[in-house]
Amino acid sequence: MDDRKKALQSIAAARWRVSLLLSGAMMVIYFGFILLIAFNKPLLGSLILPGLSLGILLGALVIVSAWVLIFLYVRWANNKYDNRINNLTRE
């Protein structure tokens, strides 16, 4: 019984660690973008190609980064997390 409790606590700790890390990554990316908007507008307005400003490119990349982070989480959860939970409940 005590072993099970300990195992669960370690799973819980791992889960929140991954969740908070990935949430932190999303926050850094998005607020980095927002801080650029807030404090360096001319930089974001500079054109990389005709019609493509740095701001629009970075904005699209923020959306793509959200996809990438979710993909990383789902891969972790499907492979590692679910297995550990299954092992725990099977006992």
Question: In whole angstroms, what is the distance from residue 91 CA to residue 87 CA?
Answer: 7
45-64 binders of another protein (CB under 8 A): 45, 47, 49-53, 55-56, 59-60, 62-64
Residue placing its CB nearer to another protein in the complex, 3 or 35 = 35
Q: In whole angstroms, give the CA distance from residue 36 to residue 30.
A: 10
78 sits in which H/E element: none
For 72-83, b/e burial (b = at least 16 CB within 10 A) is ebeebeeeeeee
Q: Using CB under 8 A as the criterion, which residues of the chain lie in contact with another protein when the complex forms?
A: 5, 8-9, 11-12, 15-16, 18-20, 22-23, 26-27, 29-31, 33-35, 37-39, 41-42, 44-45, 47, 49-53, 55-56, 59-60, 62-64, 66-67, 69-70, 73-74, 77, 82, 85, 88-89
